[in-house]
């Protein structure tokens, strides 16, 4: 319990800091948009590029673990999008909700919890889970969002508009460029590594402060907001780890330790990535902020329970 609490406390502290400075009037209502633009266009692309560019293919090539966590996460994302489309929601909104249920907080919470629970041998599986979450699932969601928005606005030139938007999107272009660097095996110059490390390390704290700023704004609650938050929180904290365990145990026959790491990664609460996207596109931001906060609070109990059982 103490290891979970010590990992989660800084998250709440950063959210509360953002909430406090907005309530005190230190930051204006424009701060949410401007800080989020910094994260989306600079900090997060740098982090995604850095993660992929530094990865070693021989180190991360663990097909059974990749299949377990990847299929579990992608399946949940697809199921959530399908459920939300039946509301009916716009495809862009459904894709963001898919992220809300499938985007685990592997970067901020995953590494310290994995080391505390399983030791340093859990670092590589956690890195794999982070790449799958932050690059593959995130990239798929961005493509669906762009498809939904461009088909809505430009029906006659949909393919051209969608392709152009995807190519220009920094959250898709950055990991793709990082993959090219990893494939070449040339590495990065030391100044470039330090630049990316400095810029990328600001992504999570800035996103959490921005989340607090957003939550401090007074707004009317959506009519079915509580129902959506409850559904997405259950999908994230219960359905995601359950699906991951079933796939790992029954399909890939993962050994006990990597299976537990995969399930722990799936059991993590929703990360800040979905909120960055929701606020940037001005869609589902209120629901997303509540899902992040609610899932993070409840995960104190669910993760502690899981670690106690295993």
Determine the pLDDT at residue 227.
92
Residue 150's Cα: distance from chain center in Å? 23
pLDDT in tens, the chain (310 residues): 666 777 778 888 999 999 999 999 999 888 988 998 999 899 989 988 998 888 888 888 999 999 999 999 999 999 999 999 998 899 999 999 999 999 999 987 888 888 888 888 898 999 999 999 988 999 899 999 988 887 655 555 666 766 777 778 888 889 889 989 998 888 889 999 999 999 998 988 998 999 899 888 876 655 557 899 999 999 999 999 999 999 999 999 999 999 999 999 999 999 999 999 999 898 988 999 999 999 999 998 999 899 888 8
CATH of 2-309 given 1.20.1250.20, 1.20.1530.20, 3.30.70.270, 3.40.50.620: 1.20.1530.20
Name the token pair of 73.
Answer: 């996460």
Instruction: Name the pTM for this structure.
Output: 0.85
The answer to whether 66 and 258 have CB atoms below 8 angstroms apart is no
Calpha distance 214→282 (Å, rounded): 12
> d(Cα 6, Cα 262) in Å, to the nearest integer?
21
CA–CA gap between residue 190 and residue 58 (Å, rounded)? 22
The per-residue pLDDT for 25 is 92
Every domain of the chain and the residues it spans = 2-309
- Smallest Cα–Cα separation from 283: which of 28, 91, 31, 35? 91
**Tokens 């993070």, residue?**
296
Separation CA 24–CA 236 (nearest Å): 33
Residue 57: the pLDDT is 85
Contact 240/77 with Cβ under 8 angstroms? no
Give the contacts of 163 (CB within 8 A, at least 6 positions apart).
Answer: none
């Amino acid at each position: 319990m103490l290891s979970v609490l010590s990992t989660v406390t800084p998250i709440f502290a950063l959210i509360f800091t953002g909430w406090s400075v907005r309530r005190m009037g230190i930051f204006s209502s424009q701060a949410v948009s401007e800080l989020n633009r910094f994260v989306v266009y600079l900090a997060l692309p740098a982090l995604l590029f850095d993660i992929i560019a530094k990865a070693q293919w021989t180190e991360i090539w663990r097909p059974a673990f990749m299949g377990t966590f990847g299929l579990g996460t992608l399946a949940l994302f697809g199921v959530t999008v399908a459920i939300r489309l039946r509301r009916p929601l716009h495809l862009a909104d459904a894709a963001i909700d898919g992220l809300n249920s499938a985007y685990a907080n592997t970067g901020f919470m995953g590494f310290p919890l994995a080391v505390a629970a399983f030791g340093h041998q859990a670092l590589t599986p956690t890195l794999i889970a982070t790449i799958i979450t932050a690059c593959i699932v995130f990239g798929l969601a961005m493509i669906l969002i762009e498809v939904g928005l461009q088909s809505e606005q430009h029906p006659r030139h949909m393919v051209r508009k969608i392709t152009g938007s995807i190519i220009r999107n920094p959250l898709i272009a950055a990991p793709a460029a990082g993959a090219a660097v990893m494939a070449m095996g040339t590495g990065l110059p030391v100044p470039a590594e330090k630049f990316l490390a400095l810029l990328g390390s600001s992504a999570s704290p800035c996103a959490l402060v921005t989340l607090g700023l957003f939550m401090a704004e007074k707004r009317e609650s959506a009519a079915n907001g509580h129902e959506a938050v409850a559904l997405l929180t259950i999908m994230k904290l219960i359905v995601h780890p359950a699906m991951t365990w079933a796939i790992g145990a029954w399909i890939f026959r993962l050994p006990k330790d990597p299976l537990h790491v995969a399930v722990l990664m799936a059991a993590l609460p929703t990360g800040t990535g979905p909120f960055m996207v929701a606020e940037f596109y001005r869609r589902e931001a209120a629901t997303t902020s509540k899902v992040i906060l609610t899932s993070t609070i409840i995960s104190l109990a669910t993760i502690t329970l899981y670690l106690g059982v295993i």
